[in-house]
Structure formats: C-alpha cells, structure tokens
Copies of this chain bind each other. A is one copy, B any other.
Amino acid sequence: MPKAQRMAQMLTVAEEIFAEQGYLATSMDEIAERVGVSKPMLYEYFGSKEGLLIGCIHRARTELREKTAAAIAGAQSPEEFLRLGLRAFFEFIDEHRRSWALLRQEAAVAVPSAQEEVEGIRQQQTDMIGAVLASFTPDIDPLEAEAFAEIVVGATERLAVWMERRPSVGPALATDYVMAVIWPGVAMKLPAPAPHA
C-alpha cells in the first residue's frame, strides 16, 4: 500500500481505538494488528505512540479549520459570523461523535505535546472570534475581547460534550442555546445597530 494511504488508514484506526478504550489502555501492538501491519511500521510512520496521537489531533484540527473557514466566509454581521462558526463547529463534532471526547479532552492529558496540539485548536477558535470582534468594534479592550473569545470557546466545547449525551440535541439547537446565552451580553458591547447592513 502507498505511504499516504497507509498513513491515513493508521490515523483512522488509531482514532477509532483511542476513542473506544482511551489512549493509555491502547497498545501499539493492538493498533498495528487492527491496521493489519506490524508495530514497527507505526513507528516508521509516526515515531512514537505520542506522535500517532498528535497525528490524529492534527488531522482533526485541519479538517475543523477548513470547515469553519468555509462556513463563515459569507457572513455579514458579527452575529452571523458567530452563529455560522458555532454551527460549523457543532456539525463537525456531530460527525466525529466518538472521537471527539478523546481528541479534545482525554488525549490532552496524556502527553504534553498533544496538549499543545489541542491548545492549537482552541487558539484557532479564539483567534477567529477575537478577529471578528475586533473588526466590528475596533476600540474594544483587548483583554476583554480575549476573555470573551475564551468564554465562547469554553461554552461551546462543553456543550459539544453535552450534545453527545443528548441525542435529541443536534447542531442547530446547540447553536441556538449558545447564542441565546451569550449574544445579548456581546451585543451590548457592540456599536449601535450594525455598521452598514
């Protein structure tokens, strides 16, 4: 099998098993077996168990960034930006139900460098939110903008986990809930109605 393909397969299998059993409880031999290959191949491709985990997170991160960027492309107001971004995020989670808890919550623990990758995801989100906020209200206190972005990311992350436990709650409703709670508080910080629309 060609390299790129094998690598993708390994990531897929690893993500699956990690999600099932947790990072620690999973052995490299186990992953290798399910891939249908021997352990040293995993080391050939990812260097270490930690590297494999990071590979999983990194791939998820890339996919999330692309989907989010695409989703918010046409937004015209800060409210629309937020709503579309949140929606894209929850949809992403919805597609990755099982893997998510691992990649974001569990995995972060195990290895410091995985923690960094996960922080990278959050950074991506807070940056995006911060940028949106700043572009619509240039005179906002930077520290406050940062706090706001963190709050939204935290709320969203937690609600994503909750959504997994509540099958009746889908991406649309989750988005509504978050917006209902945070939007009034944010709107108060913004200039009058809206710049131009």
Contact = CB atoms under 8 A, between A and B. Distances in A.
Contacts of A151: 155, 158-159, 177-178, 181-182
Contacts of A112: 22, 25
A181 B190 CA distance: 12
Nearest to A148: B181
B185 A181 contact: yes
A188 to B, nearest CB: 6
Interface in A79-109: 102, 105-109
A38 B168 CA distance: 51
Interface of A: 22-25, 102, 105-112, 115, 122, 143-144, 146-148, 150-159, 161-162, 166, 168-169, 174, 177-178, 180-188
